[in-house]
A and B are shown apart, each in its own frame.
Chain A
Amino acid sequence: MKQYLLSRIGQALLVLWGAYTITYFILYLLPGDPLTIMLTASGVEVDSLSPAQLAQARAAYGLDKGVLEQYFSLLANFLHGDFGQSLVRGEAVSTLIAARLPSTLSLAGLAVLLSVVIGVGFAYVASLVRWRPLRTVLNRLPSLGFSVPGFWIGLLFIQLFAFTLGWLPSTGDEGFESLILPAVTLAIPSSAVYAQILIRSFGDVWKEPYMVTALAKGLTRGQAQARHGFRNAALPVLTLVGLQVGNTVSGAVLVETVFSRTGIGQLAQESVLRQDIPVVLAIVALSAAAFVVVNLIVDLLYPALDPRITHRPKVT
């Protein structure tokens, strides 16, 4: 077990390093001339600079070193928690992120919670319904949920709940009230995915012979689904919850923009708009870290939930 844990953590670190490296190469090597982008982002007219000034700027951004040298010095800084300076705002990237992290974490946290509750609850009820017409409608409904652009749901909510009904604030990030609309908006696509997969999973489980065994004991359908169906059906969804972290982060960028919340997502949007490369690199790497950590936790949770999985070496 200990050995498994260590190898799994090692694997997670490897993935994280890979994610950082790919992002680095996209941001620093893909553009023909990162210096121009960086200078433009800092508000400097590139054409007005003399060659000497250009060389000076190149050195200041660390672009005068070899590719590998640049990469490794940046990586080393990263490992020490130094994400560099924002080109646009002139502040340390870590300060920028730290200031916005609580807002985004509470939004994402509430959204993940809501999506799991809504998605699982919906699928649970839908799988118990036996009346065909209603069942068909319930089975199709989730796919409507992830057919909607998330940001558009946000606009719809603002129009409906803020402008027309006046129940909740349309924008801002003051207090819990302002969190409700964005969190629900962010939760809807994920919950639709959970519902869809779980309904299918329940459908498969209901075809399993052990459900017949359960019913033959005299259990009701409800009892059989609760005691024998749920755990077996939910196991595959657990992996999905881990994978959805990426979508939640992506969604946060849009939702924060729609609801004008000052969070990481909005920072990402602004930074890309102004091509503030160090900030973009830090945010992408941080999201990858969140993804890797959550999936590591999910992986470690599995054996506790499924007795068939043990972390002994595989039989070859």
Chain B
Amino acid sequence: MTKANGYLVEVRNLAISYRTATGAVEAIKGVDFAISPGETVAIVGESGSGKSTVASAIVGLLADNARVTHGEIFVNGEAVAHAPDSRRRELRGNVIGLVPQDPMVGLNPTMRNGVQIGEALIKVKGRRYPGLDADVLELLEQVGIDNPVLRARQYPHELSGGMRQRILIAIALAGDPDLLIADEPTSALDVTVQKRVLDHLERLVRERGISLLIITHDLGVAADRADRFLVMEDGRIVEQGEPHRLLSSPAHRMTRRLIAAAPALSAGGDFAVTHRQAPDAPEILAFHGVSKHFDLPAGSGAPTFAALDTVSFSVRKGQTLAIVGESGSGKTTSLRIALGLERPSAGHVTFEGQEISHLNWKAFRPLRRRIQLVQQNPFASLDPRFTIFESVVEPLVSFGLAKGPELERAARHLLGLVHLPVAHLDRLPRELSGGQRQRVAIARALALQPDLLFLDEPVSALDVSVSAQILALLKELQDELGVSYVLVSHDLSVVASVAHHVVVLRRGQVVEQGPAGQIFRSPQDDYTRILLDAVPGRRRALEAAV
């Protein structure tokens, strides 16, 4: 099967550039690496590092405006970088299978799942054949889908994200490839779902003895699953090696940054919990048995759906409460209720003892000066036509608190708080990076000098190293201003460094709550333990600790 040097894929001094309106941009600047048969390799890097471009080049699906300017890619000893598309096509599916990034959009919405898998099989066999249906069902079973007959007949939108991911794996495996490329397999789904799918994928790969190339931004994923990993930065491989060596003695600055950004790795299997104890402090916000029901259409089984079910917790002055849960846990609903955007079906919310959950918009308005929100996606939370100045001072203008030079002073002060240069005031959001925009959003939320700040997944849209900086900034601001936070996140590892108190939500119910030290060190509930175990990097870190 493999030729000469025994590598399945070998990339030699590869350079790729993109043609853009402003000229050619070099995305890959001389990359060398190889994958042996049966080996699992991971490429780790932040957005813009070029990791996905490398993967596309290996599959032969580079964008129309990308060109291999230098170097060569060998597949089974055959030079393919400049091979005609017909040859590349023969390799796709047969030799190299691809599991694309986002399972929610990776399947054709208007074609039955079974047909989409069958199509990959027909491509390999060259024609439709009698045992096709049986093979489709067998593949579905192999990737761990229950009731394969039904699933094959359904359309993608009728399946959950995890199941769609499995269908995509089945499609990639249909051609019995020697190499599977998994592009960012952990970015689109809940951690626990992802962990199960990846565990399954890993087992299939081992059983079949095929190679796996994982493209990821998360060093934890690479450390957990790969035999070897490469760290990429700015189109170059800056470091590569086996996980235990790279983790114990990282040589490059980028590797160290990525390790620091994976909390499960940095503290030897334990999370770096900052606030082991939550000191006593007066209560600022409290949920008292809050429930929220949504009406369901007639005929769907239940009349209502409980997004929140008698949830109680409290936030203390100057401290951080983290609400952690996967999608559908009710964390967003609780945040919307606290902000007065939604009304509870039962129970109530108090702010400094005053009931606020039944106030109308007008009555709530004065409270907006004391309760503010930082939204999830900094790319969408700033008006694209507002300068940074206009965005930051808008709450002050809305409440008529300042005018003219006073606004200018306030803006300078706010930008200073979030460590942005004053020169940014005249810029537009599109001229700023994601991390800078999130700093602007934080500055805007602080403009009214609130006592309580809601942080809705504040770092989920950011690169890992940037998110570490934002979390550090949030901690600093809390120490400086004494503001309380309610931090909503799907990722336990994010909250470890900032939370005093953690609430774990599942399907609208609180499964566990307590001081951060207790939740991370001695979780009482099984679900909390599953969540902790699913944090990428945890497995490797625990092994290393033993």
Contact = CB atoms under 8 A, between A and B. Distances in A.
B211 interface: no
Interface stretch (B96-104, B267-275, B327-335): B96-104
B196 interface: no
Contacts of A209: 100-102, 105-106
Given A216-B61, A216-B172, A218-B93, A228 B297 contact: no
Interface string B46-81: 000000000000010100100000000000000000
Given A232-B109, A232-B110, A217 B298 contact: no
A212 B89 contact: no
A118 B106 CA distance: 31
A212 B90 CA distance: 15
Closest 5 CB pairs of A and B: A218-B93, A216-B98, A218-B92, A217-B120, A307-B155
24 contacts: A210-B105, A210-B106, A210-B108, A213-B107, A214-B108, A215-B92, A216-B100, A216-B172, A217-B119, A217-B175, A218-B90, A218-B120, A219-B119, A227-B119, A232-B109, A306-B110, A307-B110, A307-B155, A308-B155, A308-B157, A312-B299, A313-B298, A314-B297, A315-B297
B427 interface: no
B409 interface: no
A312 B92 CA distance: 40
Interface string A137-168: 00000000000000000000000000000000
B336 to A, nearest CB: 16
Contact of B123 (A218, A313, A314): A218
Interface residues of B, number: 39
A306 to B, nearest CB: 6
Given A213-B98, A218-B175, A315 B108 contact: no
A53 interface: no
B447 interface: no
A208 B61 CA distance: 14
Contact of A308 (B59, B109, B120, B295): B109
Interface of B: 59, 61, 64, 89-94, 97-98, 100-102, 105-111, 116, 119-120, 123-124, 155, 157, 168, 171-172, 174-175, 294-299
B157 A307 contact: yes
B296 A217 contact: no
Given A208-B105, A232-B109, A215 B61 contact: yes
Contact of A231 (B92, B110, B294, B299): B110
Contacts of A217: 92-93, 119-120, 123, 171, 174-175
Interface string A208-240: 111011111111100000011001100100000
Interface in A288-314: 305-308, 312-314
A217 to B, nearest CB: 4
A270 to B, nearest CB: 47
A315 B90 CA distance: 45
A2 interface: no
Nearest to B120: A217
A64 B284 CA distance: 75
A235 B111 CA distance: 14
Nearest to A135: B64
